[in-house]
Amino acid sequence: MKKGRFFYPGRKDTKKAAIYVKDLVRLMVEMTEKEKPGAHLYNTVYTPIHSIEEICKTMAKVTDAKEPKLTIPSGALKIAAGAINILGKIIGESFDDIHPDRVKKLMISTNINGQKLLDHGYKMEYSLEEAISDWWNDCNQKGLY
């Protein structure tokens, strides 16, 4: 996104389950203090789940990156990934990151329900925007970006 080369794979409304790692660790510690091991199984995700468009727009807003504008049709992506994969086999190179199955996965929603977590009194400390902002600030303090 920083270089303006990111595009939406297939569609903009794909739901992507996510949680900020600081929230995840804090929730895990909190759960060990409150519950017996194995007492409950929780989906630790933002509720409601954000679309890839919401995530990208928030990332662009917080980091001053370029917001993606282009959506590449899923059929074109699958064909391109397949061709790259075949080319890699022919020339003896591995392009595993551009495998058709991985491209397909980008376009499948991971719409996981995290309501049980909230119903049991667990709350996220960070919203999506606050999480990205906190991560961005940590990266900048460490000179990573």
Helices (H), the chain: 21-34, 52-63, 74-91, 100-106, 115-119, 128-141
Higher pLDDT, 144 or 125: 125
pLDDT average, residue stretch 1-26: 93
CA distance 128 to 61: 12
- Range of weakest confidence among 13-22, 46-55, 98-107: 98-107
DSSP state of 110: B
Q: 125 pLDDT exceeds 90?
A: yes
The pLDDT tens digits for 78-107 are 899 999 989 998 998 888 778 888 888 888
Residues 6+ apart with CB under 8 A from 22: 125, 126, 131, 134
- Can you read off the two tokens belonging to residue 87? 């080319």
* Domain boundaries of the chain, sorted by first residue: 8-72+109-127
